[in-house]
Structure 1
Amino acid sequence: MVGFLKRRRWLATLALLSLVVAGLYVIPEGMLLGIALVLAVPCTTIAVECSAALAASRSGHPREENAPDEDEDKSDLRYTVIVPAHNEATIIERTLAELPVGATLVIADNCTDSTAEIARNAGFQVLERHSTDTRGKGFAIEYGLRYLESDPPEAIVIIDADCRVAPGAIAQIARRALATKRPVQSLYLLDSPASPSPTAAVSAFAFLVKNRIRPMGLAFLGLPCLLQGSGMAFPWESFAKARLVGNCIVEDIQFGIDLAIAGTSPLFCSQARVTGLLPSTGAAAQSQRTRWEHGHMQTILTQSPRLLRAAITQRRLDLLALALEVSVPPLSLLGLLWAAGLGLAIAGGFWLKFWLPAVLLGAQGVLMGVAVLSTWAQFGRDRLPLRTLLSLPLYLFWKVPLYLSFVFTPQQQWIRTPRDREVENR
């Protein structure tokens, strides 16, 4: 009996050791394979969207070279342009010069400069809002919305106070929003400074991929896009029902997702162009990128599962496409994650003799790299010369502290990006 018990103890110990050894072998394999499969989602999404954008460009659909007719502003369409502005005295006069005076409402939000006075002197209607406890673009737009409720327009257009608007662009997106009963996002790009640094040039190209190439590919596939913050048009009915999230640092993305789940997914209109300016100073650029990318990563964590659940319960392909779109991290972060994953997979291949994750990640890298380089050759060579493209590792290194700060001190509140003139005058 004693021998039997000793034998059972020995067998149990052997079985436990076998499980530990098997676990040490299987778990790393499973983890590496899991990393490869998770990264396959954003890498494949990027590749498909870029390829579709190339196909759209070669087929002439949409015809991005065709500017809207300037006479379109003379239609009987009743729309209101809301311009949220917080201390924009240095730049708002240039923006207002391109907007219709009688159809524009400026929201001077918690301003301590002459923003409101400049807008009034130019003949624009101005609302001043003072509430230091509720600061942010979403709260400002909500304030304007409540003011318009007594005599609402047919459509609402949102233009940031630091943007330039192409002739006819506002009327075009407002008209399309009314015709489709859906939100419409214009082509919103950032111009590089006169003499951009390598990091600024790469950043401008990344913005081009995010705001032009990927939405263009989605439109070619008949799929919705995300809202981008400026150059957005909404039918009054849908805009009034789903309000902007005032305390969200990427309220535009959140608002577009809310509208999509409610049944009105945003559309992309590449012919209507709105342009901002990429900050040239390091402090302003860092502030802007931190807000955008921390907000983007928070959206991935919170909204991708929400969109996926809604896509399943509502059985809607457009919501599934948006879930995949939201799941794509910033290009620089995706590149860092892919490189780290490939390094681990190669090490695991030598250690475990299990090369499938490395093969999958290598294929993803080739697929994504070819797609991005092809779109650079088609759309981005004027913004990002080849010699500057070689500085991409420096750009990735510049972004590492930003991503580490998201882990330890994520930005939770809206902070306005300093304008270059303000930084220079400090």
Structure 2
Amino acid sequence: MTGLIGGLAIMAGGVVLAHGSAFTTLSALALKRPGPLSPATKPWRLVIIVPAHDEEQGIGRCLDSLKAAARDCAEILVVADNCSDGTADAARACGVTVLERSDRERRGKSFALAYALDTLAAREEKPDAVVFVDADTIVDEELLEVLSSRLDAGADSVQVHYRGDSGEAPLTRLRRLAFLLIHYARPLGAERLGLGTGLKGNGMALTWAVARSGAEGHGITEDAALTLALARRGIRVAYEPRTWVEGYMAAGYDAARTQDDRWERGRLSLMAEALRAFGAAAARGDLPTAWAALDVASLPLSLLVLLSAASVGAGALAGSATVPLLGAASIVSYVAVGLVAARAPLADVAALTSAPRFLAHKLGVYANVLRRPGSGAWQRTSREH
């Protein structure tokens, strides 16, 4: 029995070590600040698509931010999807194009995006590229200028730095730290190796040809599904750290439970598909998209921490703690190097003291996912504004 426990501890520790070592390497490559970007050589016709469900109270802030970035040179297209409030009217009051969609059987972001793309496809003049921004988001004023430069340089798909909002609650600060690791340090390191990154669903741009042939995705994590669809087609997602979008993060654990359940359930449901996409890309020698697919299949940081703790405990009991301890050290290294690379504020780093409560919360989320497996139905995260 002791031998079995020791073997399982070594296996689990090995999984953690593989993740931590790879992520530390990428984070180390992100330590150097990004250099300047060459401007676009031509104007790009961009349409910004904003899917919105019951966002009447906050969409004005998002659209004001987008209008400042658009500078009257890009169309902003809001899809008021299955709304029961005044989202559409609030968006029209901001002077943007508004589509209203009502389909109770096909609810969620991916269907709203598909509806917007179908509308654009019916127009005589198509955009050069489309940009996707969530309705609870504010953006950098240089967003479209920087995206135009990357697209002009030959990128077919681009993901910008998607950061958490500026709230001061401990949970918000922890999420902001996680976003710095997942949405900045790792993808910037991958970009510097010429590897692809994953789309995050917010702050992403696709050329019209790519968007029209595969932007619908599926399930409730359409960003991950689209990443895999692009990987299967050999299309690398470029990462752009010089501009950003800032999205809403739940500040309380009740609201976070819905948000996290959606994220974790969807990503875990795609793991097998991601591994198949990785294998196919690796077999054809396409390392950039193989890495992007493998990134989708990678375990979330919170799950790695929980797995590491379990493997160290089991390894100590069985006298096989070396590999589990190395795995734990690799996770600590990843977090430390990644946060340095991302220049994390000290006030946010101090929130790591509340990590045990967050891990207990995530353990409950994973337990719920195991009790009710499957991708689940889309459910909007409640707002705490």
Q: TM-score, normalised by structure 1?
A: 0.82
Write the deviation string for residues 76-133 of structure 1: whole angstroms up to 9, x where unpaired: 3211111111111111111111223651111111111111112222221111111010
Write the deviation string for residues 357-414 of structure 1: whole angstroms up to 9, x where unpaired: x21221222222123123334522345243x322222221222111101100245122
Conservation of the 8 A alpha-carbon contact between 1:68 and 1:167: no
Work out the percentage of aligned pairs sharing the same amino acid: 31
- Choose from 65, 69, 73 the match for 1:98: 65
In the alignment, structure 1 residue 336 sits paired with structure 2 residue 306: yes
Conservation of the 8 A alpha-carbon contact between 2:161 and 2:183: yes
CA distance in 2, matches of 1:117, 1:192: 28
* 2:378 equivalent in structure 1: 414
Instruction: Please report the RMSD computed on the Cα atoms of aligned residues, expressed in angstroms.
Output: 2.3
* 1:125 equivalent in structure 2: 97
Conservation of the 8 A alpha-carbon contact between 1:244 and 1:252: no
Which aligned pairs between 1:35-46 and structure 2 lie closer than 5 A?
35-46=12-23
CA-CA distance at 1:26 after TM superposition: 6.0
Aligned residue identity for 1:40 = L
Runs of 4+ in 1 over 6 A off after TM superposition: 66-69
- Choose from 113, 126, 134 the match for 1:160: 134
CA distance in 2, matches of 1:224, 1:405: 32
Structure holding more helix per residue: 1
Which aligned pairs between 1:123-202 and structure 2 lie closer than 5 A?
123-150=95-122, 151=124, 152-193=126-167, 195-196=168-169, 198-202=170-174
Distance 1:281 1:25, change over 3 A: closer
CA distance in 1, matches of 2:184, 2:155: 23
CA distance in 1, matches of 2:279, 2:339: 34
Higher RCO by CA contacts (8 Å cutoff, separation 6 or greater): 2
Task: Look up the SS of the partner of 1:192 in the other structure.
Answer: coil
Conservation of the 8 A alpha-carbon contact between 1:82 and 1:141: yes
* 2:282 equivalent in structure 1: 312
- Larger Cα Rg: Structure 1 or Structure 2? 1
Runs of at least 5 residues in structure 2 that lack an aligned partner in the other structure: none
CA-CA distance at 1:25 after TM superposition: 7.2
Q: TM-score, normalised by structure 2?
A: 0.90
CA distance in 2, matches of 1:176, 1:126: 28
Conservation of the 8 A alpha-carbon contact between 2:278 and 2:291: no
Number of matched pairs: 376
CA distance in 2, matches of 1:107, 1:397: 37
Task: Look up the SS of the partner of 1:274 in the other structure.
Answer: strand
In the alignment, structure 1 residue 359 sits paired with structure 2 residue 333: no
- Choose from 109, 120, 134 the match for 2:81: 109
Conservation of the 8 A alpha-carbon contact between 1:68 and 1:271: no
Task: Look up the SS of the partner of 1:83 in the other structure.
Answer: strand
Which aligned pairs between 1:383-402 and structure 2 lie closer than 5 A?
383-386=347-350, 388-402=351-365
CA-CA distance at 1:304 after TM superposition: 3.1
Distance 1:39 1:219, change over 3 A: same
Distance 1:398 1:68, change over 3 A: farther
CA distance in 2, matches of 1:210, 1:222: 17
Runs of at least 5 residues in structure 1 that lack an aligned partner in the other structure: 1-23, 350-354, 422-426
Distance 1:213 1:380, change over 3 A: same
CA distance in 2, matches of 1:178, 1:257: 24
Distance 1:374 1:76, change over 3 A: closer
Aligned residue identity for 1:283 = D
Write the deviation string for residues 262-308 of structure 1: whole angstroms up to 9, x where unpaired: 01110100112111232223332222122112222223x32332123
